Amino acid sequence: MKNISRKTLLSAFGILFLIALTYAGCNQSKTSLSGNEAEQVYVAPGTYDEFYLFTSGGFSGQMGVYGLPSGRHFKTISVFAQNPETGYGYSEETKAMLNTTYGFIPWDDSHHPEFSMTDGVPDGRFIFINGNNTPRVAKIDLKEFETTEIIEIPNSAGNHASPFVTENTEYIIASTRFSIPIPQSDVSISSYKENFKGTISFIKLDPKTEKMNLEFQIIVPGFNYDLAHAGKGPSHDWAFFTSYNSEQANSLLEINASKNDKDFVAAVNWKKAEQYLKEGKAKTYDAEYYRNYVDHKTQIAVSEKNNQVKVLDPKDCPGMMYYLPTPKSPHGVDVDPTGEYIVAGGKLASVIPVHSFTKMMKAIEEKQFDGEIAGIPILKYDAVVAGEVKDPGLGPLHTEFDDNGYAYTSAFISSEIVKWKIGTWEVVDRIPTYYSIGHLCIPGGDSKKPYGKYVIALNKITKDRYLPTGPELTQSAQLIDITGEKMKLLLDFPTVGEPHYAQAIPSDLIMKNSVKFYKIEENGNPYAVKGEKDSRVERKGNEVHIYMSAMRSHFSPDNIEGVKVGDVVYFHVTNLEQDWDVPHGFAIKGMNNSELLIMPGATRTIKWEPKKVGVYPFYCSDFCSALHQEMQGYVRVSPSNSNVPLAFSLGN
Amino acid sequence: MNTKSRIMVAVAALMLILTFFFPLWTIDLNAPQYPEGLGIRIWLDQISGMKPNDLQSINGLNHYIGMKVIDPESIPELKIMPYIIVFMIVFGLLNAYMKNRKLIYIWLILFIILGVIGMYDFYMWEYDYGHQLNPDAPIKVPGMTYQPPLIGSKQLLNISAVSLPSTAAIVIFISMFLNIAALYVDTKSKKHEN
């Protein structure tokens, strides 16, 4: 009796256990966490994250800054979009950053953050990011987390394969996704094959002045150039670009650009290009473009217009450029840490082709060509391919590398990350992502020395992952542990804008250089006041310049009279604080502009054109002190024909 | 006086030169919103912040409670103290040369008197800063004064003030001690000779 009941009990438990397993299996996306994941992402209050993560802001035009492994959001850096929170793009000191040959543009679409590198390793000095819509490349200074330079790229449209830097940040490279008539002209769209071209741009970073200069462009056949990566180590002199639409379709690309079995990876020898440039092989094209930069001394953004660019044509430059046939509409192109393997993510392909740099060099030497396009030799596929990763998931896009000889490829359609071994091309692990992963990021994962540890999935769709917020849902990233044999999902965290690509770097490379405040004695803004006693109001015709200081917890002056309707008033506000984390804000009623947010020791100017008679209060908009609510003042605005004398005071 | 004692007296005098390169006293102000610390360093001839802009920050905080601005220029002691130390160095070197025990006693007593006066003076400055508050101060706590401690720590509203002698003060103590030791060594050697 006893025995029977024990058996019955055991089998009953067995069945329950099976049901539980099945249930757990069904809900894997929600309940697969078990063990110490929480501990792995827990950064105790008051302690720091191990890595900074910089994500592209996508169609917000900005850049997000996060901590890893916590996923905490620290800051949004203003890049291509005006930001009323800080006054970026509104203040007189920052407006010029958004100047282009199309006028002032308050928005762009930013996709790919890329660190400056020394010896093929991120050095923590700068991070670059592209403006996709109106082709531009921005440089962000990581001492300040501020955009300090934006260069416009002429002869380009859809600046997508951008920015990617060479091993020692000799060049920042960028190329066109949309081919266009070069130079621009009024032609029929159906004359695409005849008139449309692409360009690959090489922006030089001056090692001393750290200024960007568009050194030269290469004019290329009118395909869509999608992504890029510079070589490293043995492939130091080369840069690689994917292209699709080798069909050169100009309408319904989803069908018409997906016909060819193979498109191309373009390999460009930039050292050779430099040499041809020196030899005078370049033609000078008339091309207007802006370079906007923050002047070191005044901290004011200045626009500089350029009118010409040097253009190399591969026809005149043998040995500078080759096409590597690559199946099928390749998207990402990634170079492994050794610089030997070039991995292309053929987004419609059933395998991931991996090209060998050694084989490529040999094929070039032996002239193993399969025809040419516009003077660019096409290498034979079999002569350059090192191997193919079979069963890599559907829609493979991008690949990053760890420090143990493995590659991780994102697969958009099958929504997963696939881990495979370099050399054997064998898939060893896969993990689902939620949902529809685009890029992925491993700290240092596109450099010579990956830090490994985590892979971050950058997802396009979140659906049921978070509390719903109406039709628009958050974008998101997922943190995955890659230290073990099996990848392990640790954390979901929402991101600002669309996180196309992201890069991560150890915190200590950046935090030690972070500026705490600007020294007031080094403030070179011509409208700065170095102390309260210098604060004043001056009239120049109908312009009124208010040289104002801000100090806890008052503005000087705080009572201003004699401003008239029709005047153009400039508030030049200097924050006199010399203490960490004490910005002041400035806002005045009815201002058709954003607030100012002024860092300690800095000066910012906002323009105000009062239209109605009255007394207008202004105040500090960033809570600064126990007496923040007292930090206010008034401007009296009189009729345009009044005789109220200009007067200003503090503490009368 | 024997050579050993004379060397000790000379070293004691010369080491006072160090007091020009190190602060005499430190006052550290600890508050939660200043995790990086905030403090004052008092030197022979100046008052500085622990970090470049601490003095400005402290004056900024002090204005809420109506304390006077700490302005090193307005403190005459900072102009006198360097001369006193120079005088003590010369006096000490002279003692090493003169071999007169009595003069060493005078040097010591004089230095102790000067030290006591200095401490009293420091206390009075602290008292003055802590009690002479601007009646228009934004924050007035009935019965509250803000005198920092002479030595030790004290809670002043949200700030814990810690006041301690620093390197230069310790150098002065060692200098005095060396003179006492010199006298002792000298006495001992005389006994041996007898």
A338-355 confidence digits (pLDDT tens): 999 999 988 888 899 999
Cβ of B53 under 8 Å from any chain A Cβ? yes
Contact A627 B64 (CB under 8 A): yes
Taking each helix axis as running N to C, give the angle between helix B101-131 and helix B77-98, from 0 to 180 degrees, rounded to the nearest 10.
170
Whether A312 has a pLDDT exceeding 80, the answer reads: yes
pLDDT band at A14 (very low <50, low <70, confident <90, very high): very low
Taking only the tens place, the pLDDT of each residue in A53-109 is 999 999 999 999 999 999 999 999 999 999 999 999 999 999 999 999 999 999 999
Q: Over 90: is that where the pLDDT of A35 sits?
A: no
**B139 CB within 8 Å of a chain A CB:** yes
Would you call B56 and A626 a contact, using CB atoms and an 8 Å cutoff? no
Of the two residues B142 and A22, the one the predictor is more confident about is B142
Give chain A positions within 8 Å (CB) of B53.
Answer: 517, 578-579
Q: pTM here?
A: 0.90
Q: Do B60 and A580 touch (CB under 8 A)?
A: no
Question: Nearest 5°: CA angle at A473, between A470 and A474?
Answer: 145
**What distance in Å separates residue B94's CA from the closest CA in chain A?**
46
Distance from CA of A578 to the nearest CA of B (A): 6
pLDDT over threshold 70, residue A30: no
Taking the Cβ of residue B57 and every Cβ of chain A, the question of whether any pair is shorter than 8 Å is answered with: yes
> How close is the nearest chain A Cα to the Cα of B53, in Å?
6
User: Percent of chain B at pLDDT above 70?
Assistant: 99
Rounded to an integer, what is the distance from CA A329 to the centroid of its chain? 23
DSSP state of A499: -
Residue-level pLDDT at A347: 84
Residue A52 makes CB contacts below 8 A (sequence gap 6+) with A65, A66, A67, A68, A504, A505, A507, A510, A511
pLDDT tens digits, one per residue of B153-169: 999 988 999 999 999 99
CA-wise closest residue to A330 among A399, A400, A419: A399
Chain B nearest CA to A582, separation (Å): 11
Comparing CB atoms, the residue among A517, A552, A580 nearest residue B60 is A552
Q: What is the pLDDT of residue A348?
A: 86
Chain A closest CA to B122's CA: distance in Å?
A: 28
d(CA B18, CA B166): 12
Across A646-651, average pLDDT: 96
On chain B, the residues whose CB falls within 8 A of the CB of A577 are: 60
End-to-end CA distance of chain A: 101
Measured between CA atoms, the residue of chain A closest to residue B32 is A46
| Contact between chains at B64 and A630 (C-beta distance less than 8 A) | no
pLDDT for the residue numbered B181? 95
Interface test with B, best of A579, A624, A627, A628 (most B CBs within 10 A): A579
Domain edges within chain B: 3-189
User: What pLDDT score does A8 carry?
Assistant: 52
Q: Could you tell me the pLDDT band of residue A20, with boundaries at 50, 70 and 90?
A: very low
A497 falls in which pLDDT band (50, 70, 90)? confident
Distance from CA of A46 to the nearest CA of B (A): 10
Q: What DSSP element (H or E) covers B128? A: helix B101-131
Q: Which of A551, A579, A627 is nearest residue B53 as measured by Cβ atoms?
A: A579
Rounded distance between C-alpha atoms, residue A203 and residue A172, angstroms:
5
CA distance A369 to A367: 5
Residue A434 has pLDDT above 70, yes or no: yes
Give me the domains of chain A, ranges plus CATH numbers.
51-511 (2.130.10.10), 520-649 (2.60.40.420)
Whether A579 and B60 lie within 8 Å, measured CB to CB: yes
Residue to test with chain B: of A514, A576, A578, most B Cβ within 10 A: A578
Q: Do B139 and A551 touch (CB under 8 A)?
A: no
Query: In the prediction, which pLDDT does A1 show?
Result: 41
Query: pLDDT tier at A325 (50, 70, 90 boundaries)?
Result: very high
Residue A201: how many CB atoms within 10 A of its CB?
28
CA distance A524 to chain B (A): 19
pLDDT for the residue numbered A619: 98
Q: How far is CA A385 from the centre of its chain?
A: 31
CA distance B124 to chain A (A): 29
Model confidence at A17, in pLDDT bands (50, 70, 90)? very low
Q: Which residues of A touch B139 (CB under 8 A)?
A: 626
Show Cβ contacts of residue A343 under 8 Å, excluding neighbours closer than 6 positions.
A332, A333, A334, A335, A336, A352, A353, A354, A355, A399, A407, A409
Of the candidates A306, A312, A323, A224, the residue with the CA atom closest to the CA atom of residue A276: A312
Confidence at residue A241, expressed as pLDDT on a 0 to 100 scale: 97
> What pLDDT score does B189 carry?
86
**pLDDT at residue A6, rounded to an integer:** 53
Give the per-residue pLDDT at A5. Answer: 53
Name chain B contacts of A626, Cβ cutoff 8 Å. 64, 138-139
How far B146 CA lies from chain A's nearest CA (Å)? Answer: 18
Taking one residue from A and the other from B, the number of pairs with CB-CB distance under 8 angstroms is 20
Dihedral Cα A264, A270, A275, A278, nearest 10 deg = 110
For the segment A396-422, the average pLDDT, to the nearest whole number, is 97
pLDDT of A223 higher than 90: yes
Would you call B64 an interface residue with chain A, using a CB distance cutoff of 8 Å? yes
Mean per-residue pLDDT of chain A: 94
Residues of chain B scoring pLDDT < 50: none
Judged against a pLDDT cut of 70, whether residue A9 lies above it is answered with no
Determine the pLDDT at residue A7.
Answer: 53
B52 interfaces chain A, CB cutoff of 8 Å: yes
Q: Is the pLDDT of residue A18 over 90?
A: no
Tens of pLDDT, residues A146-163: 999 999 999 999 999 999
Residue of B29, B33, B56 to mutate when probing chain A, most A C-beta within 10 A: B56
| B157 close to A (CB below 8 A) | no
* pLDDT tens per residue, range A540-573: 999 999 999 999 999 999 999 999 999 999 999 9
| Mean pLDDT within A10-28 | 45
Strands in B16-62 per DSSP E: 25-30, 38-42, 47-49
Residues 6+ apart with CB under 8 A from A285: A154, A155, A182, A183, A217, A308, A309, A310, A311
Q: Say whether A627 and B57 touch across the interface (CB within 8 A).
A: no
With beta carbons less than 8 A apart as the criterion, state whether A210 and A294 touch: no
Specify the pLDDT at position A586. 98
The tokens of A212 are what? 């960007």
> Helices B3-14 and B167-193 sit at what angle, rounded to 10 degrees?
170
Question: Which residues from B are below 8 Å from A580, CB to CB?
Answer: 36
Q: Would you call A579 and B138 a contact, using CB atoms and an 8 Å cutoff?
A: no
Burial of A535 (C-beta count, 10 Å sphere; 0-12/13-18/19+): buried
pLDDT tens-digit readout, A557-613: 999 999 999 999 999 999 999 999 999 999 999 999 999 999 999 999 999 999 999
Residue A579 to residue B64, Cβ atoms within 8 A: no
